Structure 1
Amino acid sequence: MFHRLTGAAFAAVLLLAAGCASEVTRQVIDAPVATPQAGKRFTLSQPASFRLDSGYGRTVPAHAEFAGVGRIAQGLVFRPIDIVLTVEGKHMHEAYAVVRDDTLVGFYLPVEKAFSPLSQTTPFLLIERKQ
């Protein structure tokens, strides 16, 4: 009886562990370097949907506003202004969009000073707002 109960308890723990969200993939990097886009405002021209490796998906709405922050090796970094952008896995992380060639390639995580790549990139056309 004791062995059956132990086996059942072990199986239950394995099932619970399998159901937990995975950690967000990230690489620690240096802070973004200023660029001519830093401080300028941009608007997303069309909605952009993406799915993280952790399984969570998001859609950034058209007309969402971003401010240029700078550049990291992976692309230009844009901070969301009028929306909250997060990436989720085991934990939730504040995120800035990282864009290369009008494509969302991942996220800069400002608290962790890290880059979280997207396995599948998506179009992310930002248009500079005229002041």
Structure 2
Amino acid sequence: MVLARLPAAGVLATALLLAACAAPVPVAPATLARLDRPHPDLVMPARVRVDLPTGRARALPHGSIWRAVGRVPQGVVYQPVDTVFTIVGRNVHEAYLVVQGTALQGFYLPGESNYSPLAAPLSLPLAQGANP
């Protein structure tokens, strides 16, 4: 009787494991281009929650500083200063912000030379004088 239930339990366990797998981070190839002019650092005056297309969320920490390091078609690319920022899907990816105006468009993934878009741009509450 117990043996008859084992295959069903195995199928159920496998189904649960597959359902628990994280979604991959959506990406497209991107080439980081040089900036045509200097851009001021961005400073987060408050913690900013970013909902990722994978269903997970990340926070841009209060007081974090981001330095312009290049450009992709979607905006200016900002690398965090003195820290590493990551986004998570099926894998963990180092990520830089991609900002157009004062809106976060997505992330540049430097280890893969990919761009990962947000579902919708997110307005950033940037510190005074820290506009891209």
TM-score by length of 1: 0.83
Task: Give deviations 1:33-62, integer Å, cap 9, x for gaps.
Answer: 323136x53323443211112222122133
Match of 1:89 in 2: 89
1:114 CA drift (Å): 0.2
1:3 CA drift (Å): 6.0
Match of 1:18 in 2: 19
Task: Give deviations 1:11-43, integer Å, cap 9, x for gaps.
Answer: 2101111012111111111123323136x5332
Q: Does 1:5 align with 2:6?
A: yes
The letter for the 1-side match of 2:15 is L
Distance 1:33 1:10 in 2: 52
Whether contact under 8 Å (1:28, 1:115) holds in the other structure is yes
Counterpart of 2:15 in 1: which secondary structure?
helix
Whether contact under 8 Å (1:50, 1:121) holds in the other structure is no
Structure 2: runs of 5 or more not aligned? none
Distance 1:20 1:108 in 2: 23
Q: Does 1:55 align with 2:55?
A: yes
Q: Residues 59 and 51 of structure 1: is their aligned pair in 2 closer, same or farther, counting only changes over 3 Å?
A: same
Q: Percent identity?
A: 34
Whether contact under 8 Å (1:48, 1:60) holds in the other structure is yes
Match of 2:37 in 1: 36
The letter for the 2-side match of 1:68 is A
Structure 1: runs of 5 or more not aligned? none
Distance 1:35 1:64 in 2: 24
Distance 1:120 1:34 in 2: 24
Question: Does 81-90 or 69-78 show the bigger shift?
Answer: 81-90
Whether contact under 8 Å (1:49, 1:122) holds in the other structure is no
Q: Let me know the Cα RMSD of the aligned residues.
A: 2.2
Match of 1:117 in 2: 117
